[in-house]
Chains A and B, each alone.
Chain A
C-alpha cells in the first residue's frame, strides 16, 4: 500500500465512524417503515410500496387495499405525526376475491393540534379534535354525460373523515395533515330542474354544512357561473352547536379581487409542474386543486399569491383538470393542462465493432471454476459462452465492449473443457479449451529412522529408512561412512550403511538429509566392546 492508499483507508474509516445508523429490525420483519423528512423538508417513500402508499400519505394518511404482486390483496396504511415522520405499514397478503377495492376508511392518528381559535364547544368524547375549525365550500361543478360533478373543499381536523351525502350519490375523504380536505361528488340520474340537497358531515364533530345543487338544462355556453347556491345552516334537529363561519382575515380598506394567471410550466420524465399566481384578498387562502394533487397558498400583504403545482406519475397525454379557488371568493377558475413530456434525447447511434473474443481471468474454486471472457462486438447484441459444464451470456454495451464470467460446475481435475463463444449479430464463433488443473497431491513429509543406536560389530552396520517426496535424494553422512539413496515413486526410501574403523567406545553422529527438504535428521551411533 502506498501513502495515499493508507490515507484513503483511514479517511473511509473516519467517515464511516461518523455515520450513526438507527437500527429498526421490526421494520424489516413487519414491513413497517418509518420515514423522516429529508433535508429539504420533503418526504420520500419506500420504493417497494409504490404509488399507492405515497399517494395516501400525501393526502394525509389512511388505508388502501390494492392487488398484491403475485396475487391476492394487501392493505397499506399510512400515518404521520407532527414532526413529519410518516409511517407506512402493509398487511400480509390475503386472497379474498370479493374484497371491496375501497380507499380511505380508517382515519389516521390525529396530530397534536396546532393552536387555533376555539370555534366549537362540542360534547364529551371528542376532546382531541374540538379545537379545529370545520368548513366546507363548493368548488367547480360540471355536467358530463348526465352526471353532475361537484367539487367540495374545506377545513377539518387532520385525519378526520369528511362525508358528503345526497340521495343521488355520496363520497367521503380524509383531511390531510394540515386539516385541508377536498372531494369530488358525482351525482347520477338527477332529473333536470331538481334541487339536490347535499350534507357535509365530519367524523369528529357534530358540525353539518348543507348545500343545494340544482340540475340545469345541459347546454348554455355563456353561463360560466357554477350551478350552486350558498351554504345555509342546517335545519332544526341538526346537531348543536351550529357551525361558525371561518374566521375571516382582516379586511383591507381596498379589497383585492381574486385573479388567477398561469405561470411557467415544466414537463420532464418525472414531474409535471405548473406555476400559478394572481391576486386575492390579503391573508386569504388560495387552493389549486387537481385529481393528481393539490397545493395551497396564502395571499400576502399586497394581495399577491403564487404557487407551484407539482404532479408526479401523470401519464403522457393526460388532460389534467385544475380548479383554483379562494377562501374569500366564490369564483372558481379552471384550466385543462396537458401532460406533454419532452421527447427523449435520441440515443447515439451505436458504433459497430467486429466480434472479438479474448480470454480473461481464470479462477479455480472448490465447487466450480470460472473463466472470464471479454471482447468487442455489435452494441446491443448478445454474447453467449457455452460448455458442457455451464453457460453464460451478456449483452454488449453501447460502446461495443463486453465481458462475461463463465461458471463451470463439477469439472473433474485435469480435464479439458471446450467453450464455444457466439454472438447473435455475427456468424463467427470462437472455440476455447479451458483446462482444470489436477488437484495437488498431498505433499510427502521427509522422515528418517535408524535401526540401532549401538553395535559391537566391526565394521558397524546400520539400517536407515523413512519417507520423502518421490525422487528426493537422501544423503546419509558421518565421520566413519556415507551413503546415498533415492526415494521411490511412493515416497519411501531405505539404506544400509557400513561404518568402518570405529574405535571401541566411540559415539558419532549420523546425519540424514533430503535434497527436497530444508530439514535433516541426526542419529547417534556407538561402538561398544563385544566382551563387555
Chain B
C-alpha cells in the first residue's frame, strides 16, 4: 500500500486548536507515527467537540480516547487517509450518541446533579458559564447538536457538514436553523 497523508492538509480547528504544534508528517504509512501526529494535533479539539456533544467533559475524554483507539485499530483498513479527519469526527459523533443512549436510562434514576453556582465574575459580567453552554448544546437532538457545533465552532460549511454526516445540505441547514433557535431561547434568556 502506498499511501500519502499530510497532517498539514487539515487546518487546525478554532477555539483552541494548536496550529502545527505537532510534527508534520509527510508520505508515511507508519501507523504509530501517523497516529501520534494525528493525536497531537486533534486530541484537544476532539475532546472539546465530544464535550459539546455529550455535555460532560469527563465523558468527552472517554469518547475522544475511544475514537482515537478505534482509528488506531482501523488504520490499515482506511483507504483514504486524507479523509481520516472526517472519519475521526464521525466516530466521535457516533460514540457520543451511543454513550448518551446508554447513559440516559441510568441518569433517569440518578438524583440530579447539583448545578454549579456561577462565579461572582460571571454574575458581574452577566456571562453564560461553560456548564450552561455545554448543557444547552447537549440538550439539542443529536443531529442539531452536531450540525450547530460543526457550523459555529468548527466553522465548517454546510456542504462540508453534509458530507461529513452524510446528510443533504438542506437537512443540515434545517438542523442548524432549529438548533440555533433553541439555543437563542436557552442562552439568550440567561445572558
Q: Using Cβ atoms and an 8 Å threshold, which residues of chain B touch A5? A: 152, 180
Interface presence of A506 (CB below 8 A): no
Is B168 within 8 A of A361, CB to CB? yes
Query: Do the beta carbons of A4 and B152 come within 8 Å of each other?
Result: no
Q: Closest CB-CB distance, A512 to chain B, in whole Å?
A: 41
Known interface pairs A29-B32, A403-B171; A38-B43 also in contact (CB < 8 Å): no
Rounded to whole angstroms, the CA-CA distance of A8 and B134 in the bound complex is: 12
Which residues of chain A are near B168, meaning CB under 8 Å? 360-361, 372, 374, 403, 405
**A315-374 interface (Cβ within 8 A of B):** 360-361, 363, 372, 374
Query: Cα distance A8–B188 when bound, in Å?
Result: 10
Partner of A8, one of B39, B51, B57, B183: B183
A29 and B48 contact, CB distance less than 8 A = no
What range describes how many residues of B lie at the interface?
35 or more
Q: Are A47 and B66 in contact (CB under 8 A)?
A: yes
Contacts of A19 in B (CB 8 A): 16, 47-48, 51, 57, 60, 130
| A1-29 contact mask (Cβ, 8 Å, vs B): 1 or 0 | 00011001101111111110111110111
Cα of A205 to Cα of B29 in the assembled complex, Å: 53
B118, chain A: closest CB distance, angstroms: 13
Q: When the two chains form their complex, are residues B169 and A36 in contact, meaning their CB atoms are under 8 A apart? A: no
Could you say which of A23, A36, A266 contacts B109, with CB atoms under 8 Å apart? Answer: A266
Docked CA distance A313–B72 (Å): 30
Contacts of A24 in B (CB 8 A): 65
Q: Which residues of A contact B162 (CB under 8 A)?
A: 361, 363
Q: How far is B109's CA from A29's CA once the two chains are assembled, in angstroms? A: 36
CB-based nearest A residue for B170: A361
Q: Does A46 contact B (CB under 8 A)?
A: yes
Contact check, B32 vs A18: say whether CB atoms are below 8 A apart.
no
User: Residue on B with the closest CB to A21?
Assistant: B47
- Chain B residues contacting A16 (CB-CB under 8 Å) are 15-16, 45, 48, 51-52, 153
Chain B 50-109 residues near chain A, CB threshold 8 A = 51-52, 57-58, 60-62, 64-66, 68-69, 72, 99, 102, 105-106, 108-109
Please measure, in the bound complex, the distance between the C-alpha atom of A14 and the C-alpha atom of B48, giving whole angstroms: 11
Complex partner residue of B133 from A12, A35, A268, A403, CB under 8 angstroms: A12
B14 touches A13 (CB 8 A): yes
Cβ of B109 and Cβ of A268 under 8 Å apart? yes
Q: Are A33 and B65 in contact (CB under 8 A)?
A: yes
A360→B15 contact, CB < 8 A: no
Say yes or no: is A31 at the interface (Cβ < 8 Å to chain B): yes
In the assembly, what is the distance between CA of A18 and CA of B134, in Å? Answer: 11
Return the CB mask of B1-34 against A: 1 if under 8 Å, else 0.
0000000000000111000000000000000100
A23 contacts which chain B residues (CB < 8 A)? 39-40, 43-44
In the complex, are the beta carbons of B65 and A27 less than 8 A apart? yes
* C-alpha spacing A38/B62, complex, angstroms: 12
Contacting residues, chain B, for A38 (C-beta < 8 A)? 58
**What is the 8 Å Cβ interface bit string for chain B, positions 141-169, against chain A (1 contact, 0 not)?**
00000001100110100010011001111
Q: CB-CB < 8 A to B69: which residues of A?
A: 27-28, 31, 48
A248 on interface, CB distance cutoff 8 Å: no
Residue A271 at the chain B interface, CB threshold 8 Å:
yes
Least distance between A23 CB and chain B CB atoms (Å): 5
Contact check, B109 vs A11: say whether CB atoms are below 8 A apart: no
Query: Is the CB of B139 closer than 8 A to any CB of chain A?
Result: no
Q: Which residues of A contact B134 (CB under 8 A)?
A: 15
- In the assembled complex, the Cα of A29 lies from the Cα of B36 at a distance in Å of 9
**Chain A contacts for B113, CB-based, 8 A:** 39-40
Q: What chain B residues lie within 8 Å of A29 (beta carbons)?
A: 32, 35, 72
A269 within 8 A of B: yes
* CB of B140 closer than 8 Å to a CB of A: no
Cα(A27)–Cα(B148), bound, Å: 31
With both chains docked as a complex, state the minimum distance between the C-beta of A5 and any C-beta of chain B, in angstroms. 7
Residue A44 lies at the interface, judged by CB distance under 8 Å to chain B = yes
Contact of A4 among B65, B155, B180 (CB under 8 A): B180
Taking a contact as CB atoms closer than 8 A, the residue among A25, A39, A266, A360 that contacts B170 in the complex is: A360
Residues on the A chain within 8 Å of B183, using CB: 8
A270 interface hit (Cβ, 8 Å): yes
Q: Which residues of chain B are within 8 angstroms of A8 by Cβ–Cβ distance?
A: 148, 152, 180, 183-184, 187
Contacts of B152 in A (CB 8 A): 5, 8-9, 12
Task: Judge whether B188 and A13 touch: CB under 8 Å.
Answer: no
A259-273 interface (Cβ within 8 A of B): 266, 268-271
Is the CB–CB distance between A405 and B166 below 8 Å?
yes
Give Cα distance in the complex from A266 to B109, angstroms.
10
Docked-complex contact A12 and B153, CB < 8 angstroms: yes
Q: How far is the CB of A248 from chain B (nearest CB, A)?
A: 36
Q: Which residues in A have their C-beta under 8 angstroms from that of B32?
A: 29
Q: Across the interface, which residues of B come within 8 angstroms of A46, CB to CB?
A: 62, 66
Check A18 against B130 for contact (C-beta < 8 Å). yes
What residue in chain A is nearest B155 (Cβ atoms)?
A9
Which chain B residues lie closer than 8 Å to A35 at the CB level? Answer: 62
What separation, in Å, do the CA atoms of A478 and B26 have in the docked complex?
Answer: 58
Query: Given the complex, which residues of A lie within 8 Å of B133, measured CB to CB?
Result: 11-12, 14-15
Structural contact, B62 and A44, CB atoms closer than 8 A: yes
Closest chain B CB from A267 CB (angstroms):
10
Q: A4-B188, A25-B36 are in contact. Are A12 and B15 (CB under 8 A)?
A: yes
Q: Given A12-B152, A28-B65, A360-B168, 7 more contacts at CB 8 Å?
A: A11-B133, A15-B133, A25-B39, A39-B113, A48-B69, A372-B170, A374-B168
12 contacts between A and B (CB under 8 A): A8-B184, A16-B16, A19-B51, A21-B48, A23-B39, A25-B39, A25-B40, A28-B72, A29-B32, A38-B58, A363-B169, A372-B171
Interface on A for B, CB 8 Å cutoff? 4-5, 8-9, 11-19, 21-25, 27-29, 31, 33, 35-36, 38-40, 44, 46-48, 266, 268-271, 360-361, 363, 372, 374, 403, 405
Which 4 A/B pairs are nearest by Cβ-Cβ distance?
A21-B47, A361-B168, A16-B15, A372-B168
